[in-house]
Amino acid sequence: MLRDGRAAAGNDAADWIRAIAEKEDRAAFASLFEFYAPRIKAMLMRLGAAADSAEDFAQETLLTVWRKAAYFDPARASASAWIYTIARNLRIDRLRGDNRAKLYAPYEMVEPEGPENPDSALNAAERDARVRVALKELSQEQVRVLQLSFFEGRAHGDIAALLDLPLGTVKSRVRLAMARLRNLLGDLQ
Amino acid sequence: MTIIHHPSDATLAAFASGTLDEARGVVVAAHLALCAQCRNGVHAFEQAGGALLDDVEPAVLSAGALQRAMAALGPLDIISPAIHQDAAGDLPAPLSHYAVGPWRWIGRGVQWRPVEVASDAGVRVFMLKAAPGTKLPRHRHTGTEWTCVFEGAFTHALGRYGSGDFDEADESVEHDPVVDAEHGCVCLVALQGHIELQSWLGRLIQPFVRI
């Protein structure tokens, strides 16, 4: 489950990215790299990449974070969510070579003239806190199937084999975990 | 525009995590361009992805990894104004990256135009334009059929699908949509496999129908 200290690093991450954007702060980059590069490498290895290509990918992701630091808007996304989406888009570009990463542009790049929905004009920090609370509310098994299905993009059949569970059980756990997450997020939507 | 029908949570999560195939992703993106609620949903799942990334057990980096990264640091990108993706002609914004063919008649009251999206999941993307009151033949699918409505509406057993609505039909659905009597309907469809017409006439003409 989410350990204390990591959320704190997550909060610092927003400051590190801002320091890069404002004054090309190399020490801030080093801190960001030391926290996220090992995690992105781990994420890629879970997705089936070999250790050295996963590490190349982590390097490329963090270098992209450096280059695009000025685009980070803490009001729209937490640092970890922003880095996650950069890694996602790079992975799609790199692995698929198709136009898919561009599909994210319409809602990433278009600056809304005001809050998209006045009722849910939560700032990213609040959304992030709520997501973390919601994840803590889930059982270990639910978090595991969420990780495998959503984070690692595994097919339900693979998850069933990995966890030695019947396919129907996996499907209902994914559905339940997803619904629980959305439910706990409540009026975020 | 009041949107009633939305993609499922699983679909929004798959989109957020980058695991949805491009062809179906196009139709989801078309809906997202119209639906603030689902954009928020995707952002929430991206936030969850970020939280899971923070929590993953870190891998060990090779010696000198940080030094190599520091040595590769170059200039920062200069921030450019947000790219407003305008609809290209009569095409919705998410289709602007793709070649789109001409409209062709494929049956009485129904026109079809292909959207060139490569798919490794056997999914074809196309737009449909149906005249007011058109009754589409009862059919089922061999795979999923996802639809985003741009103009007008259609109705089937699960409800009325108007502008912005998203219909996520899977292979278990058998339906006979009726197009809005006043406005007709223009929609974007990602069809996996093919459709199977259920009437004897439909089965007879099936070999001649392109979808």
The 3-state DSSP class for residue B20 equals coil
- Record the pTM: 0.84
Q: Tell me which of A114 and B73 has the higher pLDDT.
A: B73
Q: Output the pLDDT for position B82.
A: 55
Residue listed under structure tokens 């801030």:
A28
How far is A46 from chain B, CA to nearest CA, in Å?
10
Of B53, B58, B72, the CB nearest to A63: B72
Q: What is the DSSP string of A8-46?
A: HHHHHHHHHHHHHHHH--HHHHHHHHHHHHHHHHHHHHH
Least confident of A131-140, B71-80, B194-203: B194-203
Selected from 1.10.1740.10, 1.10.3720.10, 3.40.50.2000, 1.10.3210.10, the CATH number assigned to the domain covering A6-109 reads 1.10.1740.10
In chain A, what residues touch B10 (CB-CB under 8 Å)?
Answer: 174-175, 178
For B122-145, what is the mean pLDDT?
88
Of B14, B32, B40, the CB nearest to A188: B40
The number of residues making up chain A comes to 189
Q: Which two tokens stand for residue B24?
A: 């179906």
Residue A96's Cβ-count burial label (10 Å; 0-12, 13-18, 19+) is middle
For A76-90, what is the mean pLDDT?
91
Q: Are B114 and A59 in contact (CB under 8 A)?
A: no
Per-chain mean pLDDT for chain B: 85
Rounded-to-integer distance, Cα A47 and Cα B152, Å? 42
Backbone φ and ψ of B146, nearest 5°? -105, 135
Confidence of residue B211 (pLDDT cuts 50, 70, 90): low
**Which amino acid does the sequence have at A14?**
A
Q: Which two tokens stand for residue B41?
A: 């949903």
Q: Output the pLDDT for position A14.
A: 92
Best-predicted range by mean pLDDT among A8-17, A80-89, A144-153?
A: A80-89
In chain A, what residues touch B59 (CB-CB under 8 Å)?
Answer: 38-39, 41-42, 45, 51, 54-55
Q: Output the pLDDT for position A109.
A: 37
For B50-57, what is the mean pLDDT?
89
In chain B, what residues touch A38 (CB-CB under 8 Å)?
Answer: 58-61
Percent of chain B whose pLDDT exceeds 90: 42
Q: Tell me which of B28 and A8 has the higher pLDDT.
A: B28
Q: Which two tokens stand for residue B103?
A: 């409209």
Q: Output the pLDDT for position B159.
A: 93
Confidence of residue A122 (pLDDT cuts 50, 70, 90): low
Nearest to B24 by CA among B91, B123, B115: B123
Confidence of residue B201 (pLDDT cuts 50, 70, 90): low
Does residue A70 have a pLDDT over 70? yes
Q: Tell me which of A104 and A146 has the higher pLDDT.
A: A146
- In A24-139, alpha helices (H): 26-46, 51-67, 79-96, 105-109, 124-137
The B159-161 sheet, strands edge to edge: B159-161, B154-156, B178-179
Confidence of residue A5 (pLDDT cuts 50, 70, 90): very low
Confidence of residue A24 (pLDDT cuts 50, 70, 90): very high
Does residue A151 have a pLDDT over 90? no
Does residue A8 have a pLDDT over 90? no
The 3-state DSSP class for residue B135 equals strand
Rounded-to-integer distance, Cα A61 and Cα A43, Å? 12
Least confident of A117-131, B59-73, B148-162, B188-202: A117-131
Does residue A22 have a pLDDT over 60? yes
CB contact under 8 A, A107 and B33: yes
Cβ contacts below 8 Å, chain A against chain B, sum to 216
CB contact under 8 A, B70 and A63: no
Q: Which fold has domain A118-188?
A: Arc Repressor Mutant, subunit A (1.10.10)
Q: Which two tokens stand for residue A99?
A: 């136009």
Domain ranges of chain A: 6-109, 118-188
Nearest to B53 by CA among A96, A189, A77: A77
In chain B, what residues touch A21 (CB-CB under 8 Å)?
Answer: 76
Rounded-to-integer distance, Cα B172 and Cα B143, Å? 9
Per-chain mean pLDDT for chain A: 79
Q: Which two tokens stand for residue A88?
A: 């996602």
Q: What is the DSSP string of B147-202?
A: EEEEEE-EEETTEEE-TT-EEEE-TT-EE--EE-TTT-EEEEEEEES-EEE-SHHH
Q: Tell me which of B128 and B94 has the higher pLDDT.
A: B128
Does residue B203 have a pLDDT over 70? no
Residue A21, CA atoms < 13 Å, CB-side half-sphere: 16
Q: Are B67 and B3 in contact (CB under 8 A)?
A: no
For A50-76, what is the mean pLDDT?
93
Domains of chain B: 100-208 (2.60.120.10)
Q: Output the pLDDT for position A52.
A: 93
Rounded-to-integer distance, Cα B72 and Cα B28, Å? 37
Nearest to B187 by CA among B89, B107, B98, B110: B110
Q: Are A44 and A60 in contact (CB under 8 A)?
A: no
Rounded-to-integer distance, Cα A182 and Cα B64, Å? 41
Rounded-to-integer distance, Cα B168 and Cα B165, Å? 10
Chain A, nearest residue to B16 by Cα: A85
Rounded-to-integer distance, Cα A155 and Cα B10, Å? 12
Backbone φ and ψ of A115, nearest 5°? -55, 140
Instruction: Please state at what angle helix A26-46 crosses helix A6-23, rounded to 10 degrees.
Output: 130
Q: Output the pLDDT for position A185.
A: 65
For B32-46, what is the mean pLDDT?
87
